[in-house]
Amino acid sequence: QSVLTQPASVSGAPGQRVTISCTGSSSNIGAGYDVHWYQQLPGTAPKLLIYRDIIRPSGVPDRFSGSKSDASASLAITGLQAMDEADYYCQSYDSSLRDVVFGGGTKVTVL
Amino acid sequence: EVLLVQSGAEVRKPGESLKISCKGSGYSFPDYWIAWVRQLPGKGLEWMGVIYPGDSDTRYSPSFEGQVTISADKSIRTAYLQWSSLQASDTAMYYCAKTYSSVWPENFEYWGRGTLVTVSS
Nearest to A46 by CA among B35, B68, B71, B53: B35
DSSP SS3 for B89: helix
Condensed to tens digits (0 to 9), the pLDDT of residues B33-88 reads 999 999 999 999 999 999 999 999 999 999 999 999 999 999 999 999 999 999 99
Q: Please give the torsion angle defined by the CA atoms of residues B86, B91, B106 and B49, in that order, rounded to the nearest 10 degrees.
A: -10
Q: Taking residues B99-115, report their average pLDDT.
A: 93
Minimal-distance CA residue of chain B relative to A106: B44
pLDDT value at residue A17: 97
Nearest to A4 by CA among A109, A87, A110, A106: A106
| Residue from the list A48, A87, A99 with its beta carbon closest to the beta carbon of B109 | A48
DSSP SS3 for B86: coil
pLDDT value at residue A1: 79
Mutate to test the interface with B, among A100, A102, A107 (most CBs of B within 10 A): A100
